[in-house]
Amino acid sequence: MAENFMILVINFGSTSTKIAVFNRNTPVFKVSFDHGRDGYPKKFKDLAEHEQFATDLIKRIVGENGFQMTDFDVFVARGGGLVFIKSGAYLINDAMIEDTKRIGGDRHPGKLGARIGYAFSKEYGRDAYIVNGPSVDEYDDVARLTGVPEILRTSHIHTLNQKEVAYRYADGVGRKYPDLNLIVCHIGGGISVTAHKNGRMIDSTDIIEGDGPMSPTRSGALPAIPLVELCYSGKYDKEALILKIVKTGGMAGLLGTDDLRETLRRIADGDAFAKIVYETMIYQIAKYAGSMAVALDGSVDAILLTGGMSRSAELVGALTKKLSWIAPTAVFPGEFEMEGLAAGIMRVVDGGETVHEYTGTDVWTGFKN
C-alpha cells in the first residue's frame, strides 16, 4: 500500500465550486467558491465559458497551494448529466463526455466535473474518475412503480454524501457498510430520506421530482388532484409552477425564508405559524423515515442524520425523539462530498472496489416479463 497517493478533487454544484487536494484520505487543502462572490461570476454566457474560467481557476489554486498538476496520481470529480448508473467509481471516457452534452441541456455546472477532469486526464496523462454521481440508481423494482402507467418513480438522491456517511458509520461501529441496514436522512436545502439495505439504496424520496418531505426550498409531495387543478388554474405557467415546487416552496414559500436559524428565531419570538411550519417539516421527515423502515422490513441498524440542517441541536433532538422507536440515531453534521470523492477512489486503489465502465446505458432497463 503506497504511503502517498495524491488526489485532486473537484466538485461543481449549482451555486458553488469546490476544489481540494487529498493525500489518500487525508485532506491537504480545501477551498470553496460561492458563485457570484469573491471574483467568481454568478452567470456565464454558456457552459463552455464557465468551463474555461473554472479550468484556469483550478490550475491557479493548485499552484498557489504549492502543487503542480503533474503531482497528482489521479483526478476525481462529482459527475452530473449522465444516465442512471451503479454506485461507485467510473473512469471518465468519451461516452460520458458525450452524455454530459446530450442529456438535460447544456446549462448545469454539475456537468463540468467530468469534462474538466477528462481534459486534465488528457493533458497530464493521469486517469480521471467520477464517484457516486447524482444519477446513481439502486432501487428495488417495487419502489419504481406508481398507479399511473406513464409515471415511474426515479432515483435522485444526495448519493455522494449519503454513501460517505454510511461508510463512516460502519467504520465507527467496526462493521462493513454492505452488512448494515440504514436509514440515511440528508437534511439540507433539499431533503432525501433513503433506505440502505446491504450497501444498496433500495428506495428513497426524490430531490428533483417533487417527492418526499417539505424542505427549506422544496414543497415536498403534494396531493395530486389539487396540484392538477392548480396546473389548470391559469395562475402559473409550467416553469413557474415547477419553480414553486423545487426552488421556492417549503419554508421559503410559507415563511419567506429558507434559513432554519431565522425560522427558529421567529419561533423563539412567539411566531405560532413559524412553529407549525417547522414542526410540519420535522413530522414529514420522520414520517418518510418510518416508511423507509418498512422498506427494510423493520430491520434497521441505525438512522443517520446529515446535511446542513443536522448542525441544529434542536432539529436533531426533535427528530431523534420521533425516530427512537425505530433504531438508534447517529449524527454527521454538514456534508462530506469532497471526502466521499477521495474515499471512493481509495477504495478502488486499495482493492476494495472495482472500477465501472460507463456505457451510456441506464442501469435499469425495465420490468422483466
Q: What is the mean pLDDT of residues 234-246?
A: 95
pLDDT at 40 over 70: yes
Can you spell out the DSSP letters for 267-308?
A: HHTT-HHHHHHHHHHHHHHHHHHHHHHHHTTT--SEEEEEEG
At 125, the pLDDT band (50, 70, 90 cuts) reads very high
Alpha-carbon span 69 to 8, nearest angstrom: 9
User: Do the domains at 6-138+338-357 and 174-334 have one common CATH topology?
Assistant: yes
Name residues whose C-beta falls within 8 Å of residue 157's C-beta, 6 or more positions apart in sequence. 134, 136, 186, 192, 194, 201, 204, 206, 207
The architecture (CATH level 2) of 6-138+338-357 comes to 2-Layer Sandwich (3.30)
At 235, the pLDDT band (50, 70, 90 cuts) reads very high
pLDDT at 234 over 70: yes
- For residues 335, 340, 341, 342, the Cα torsion angle rounded to the nearest 10 degrees is 120
At 13, the pLDDT band (50, 70, 90 cuts) reads confident
Mean pLDDT, the chain, integer: 96
| CB atoms closer than 10 angstroms to residue 209 | 16
Q: What is the mean pLDDT of residues 326-355?
A: 97
Q: What is the pLDDT of residues 143-173, one digit of tens each?
A: 999 999 999 999 999 999 999 999 999 999 9
Please state the length of the chain: 369
Can you spell out the DSSP letters for 43-99?
A: --SSHHHHHHHHHHHHHHHHHHTT--GGG-SEEEE---S---B-SSEEE--HHHHHH
Q: What is the pLDDT of residues 169-224, one digit of tens each?
A: 999 999 999 999 999 999 999 999 999 999 999 999 998 899 999 999 999 999 99
- For residues 300, 84, 335, 355, the Cα torsion angle rounded to the nearest 10 degrees is 90
Alpha-carbon span 369 to 116, nearest angstrom: 41
Alpha-carbon span 5 to 74, nearest angstrom: 8
Q: What is the pLDDT of residue 1?
A: 62
Q: What is the pLDDT of residues 45-89, one digit of tens each?
A: 999 999 999 999 999 999 999 999 999 999 999 998 899 999 999
Residue entry with cell 457552459: 47
Domain ranges of the chain: 6-138+338-357, 174-334
Q: What is the pLDDT of residues 251-309, one digit of tens each?
A: 999 999 999 999 999 999 999 999 999 999 999 999 999 999 999 999 999 999 999 99
Alpha-carbon span 45 to 107, nearest angstrom: 10
Q: What is the pLDDT of residue 221?
A: 97
The topology (CATH level 3) of 174-334 is Nucleotidyltransferase; domain 5 (3.30.420)
